[in-house]
Structure 1
């Protein structure tokens, strides 16, 4: 399980880069830090799903890819609630600076990681061999 968790963390780091990059792009396009975060979170979930289904867990071939995506999105939404709550708290507590959204995304990502790993392992990719 430790190897699997390490792969999950690596996927999460890549997801963090996608999340933070998309957030800054969304904010530059006019979305605020809250709407931008919803957009960036969805993009990060898609990116981590692609990585986790191929490298962290063995994809179960008896389910449709659409069902797997919907289950993964729902599972990540549970961790996403923890993630977003921590993000909002961090936005309010940190100084108003250009690096604040990035730091808040990091705080949120760490807050949701454990919930996300367990829901992916025990529900979405249950029975994976890795």
Structure 2
């Protein structure tokens, strides 16, 4: 139970880091570069997912093993996070439909989507990718 609480807390920290990367990039690409909110989100999401993979492999699940090399682990992480991204991006799109004024502030929609997808992402990361304890050899 102690490990689970620690993992949840560290996953949340990684999520906040990812949210900052995601929202910051989306906001910059839309506000400063004039990108479309949906195109900007592709870049911001991929960047944030990479940051959260690094954080979670280094901190949250440091005592667990994926059984994969770094590149394969990153690809598996991205695949799993794509499932969470369905929820995340669904809320992102719904936020724009419900509140058209958010097009000027995509960071708000990013935050809503991130919150919705975080539970699925934690469960997938812990149960599927980082499910085995690290061996001491």
Same fold at TM > 0.5: yes
> CA-to-partner distance for each residue in 1:52-103, whole Å, 9 max, x for gaps?
0000002537421111000000010000010000000011212515763121
In structure 2, stretches of 5+ residues that fail to align are: none
Query: Based on CA coordinates, which of the two structures has the bigger radius of gyration?
Result: 2
TM-score after normalising by structure 1 = 0.91
* Off by >3 Å, runs of 4+ in structure 1: 97-100
2:128 aligned with 1:108: no
Q: 2:45 aligns with which of 41, 45, 54?
A: 41
Q: CA deviation at 1:3?
A: 1.3
> Aligned partners of 1:71, 1:57: CA distance in 2, in Å?
15
2:15 aligned with 1:9: no
> Aligned partners of 2:7, 2:126: CA distance in 1, in Å?
9
Between the two proteins, the alignment pairs up a number of residues equal to 129
TM-score after normalising by structure 2 = 0.87
Classify the secondary structure of the residue corresponding to 1:69: helix
In structure 1, stretches of 5+ residues that fail to align are: none
